[in-house]
Amino acid sequence: MDTELVKAAQIGDKGAFTALAAALADRYLAASHRILRDLSLAEDATQQALLAIWRDLPQLRDPARFEAWSYRLLVRACYAEAGRARRWAPNIHLLPVDEPLATDGLSTVVDRDQLERGFRRLSLDHRTVVVLHHYLDLPLDQVAEALGVPVGTVSSRLHYAMRGLRAALEADSRPTAREAAQ
């Protein structure tokens, strides 16, 4: 990230901030889309995050830490959008049709739908950690900084998230009770 652009934006240079935002926006939208699983919510979160960055930029002490600091604002915006969506969403719970029976490895072909379902079953905290670490390639300490939690908490969330995903993939690839009975 160009530190000079950050410094210029800190003192109110709108052109510099526009250049910064243009460099960040695609990546932020992609990350928030993956966290929130909804493009319009992700667009709102990205917009709110970029405006928050502009508003709070003079308070950033070390311009070299801009990227980590901005991820924190993006995560906050995602949480805010998720909370807003939860308040308006109808209260529908999807129930599993059949219980899985046999145990099996990950030998079957995994398709997008299985991953999508598994990922949606994760909590927002767990999805955020997975996206920051496995999509944005942030090391665990930077993920912890972005979330404002200890590194141990991040490791634990990541562990449980991956375990949840693995369980979801395995469950989806197993034959259902009905299939097994036939």
Cβ proximity to other proteins, 75 vs 169, nearer residue: 169
To the nearest whole angstrom, how small is the minimum distance from the Cβ of residue 5 to other proteins? 15
* Residues in touch with other proteins (CB under 8 A): 12, 14, 17-18, 21-22, 25-26, 28-30, 33-34, 39, 42-43, 46-47, 50-51, 54-59, 61, 105-106, 110, 112, 115, 130-131, 134-135, 162, 165-166, 169
> Which residue, 28 or 66, has its beta carbon nearer to other proteins?
28
Considering the complex, what minimum distance in angstroms separates the CB of residue 59 from other proteins? Answer: 5
Residue type, 151: V
The whole-angstrom separation of Cα 100 and Cα 103 is 8
Cross-strand bridge partners of residue 100 = 176
What is the smallest separation between the CB atom of 90 and other proteins, expressed in angstroms?
Answer: 26
Count CA atoms within 13 Å of residue 152 on its CB side.
Answer: 0
In the three-class reduction of DSSP (H, G, I as helix; E, B as strand; rest coil), residue 84 is classed as helix
CA distance 155 to 120: 20
Q: How crowded is residue 85: how many other Cβ atoms within 10 Å of its Cβ?
A: 15
Closest approach of other proteins to the CB of residue 8, in Å: 12
If the CB atoms of residues 4 and 137 are measured against other proteins, the closer one turns out to be 137
| Under 8 Å between Cβ of 67 and 146 | no
Residue with Cβ nearer other proteins (46 or 70): 46
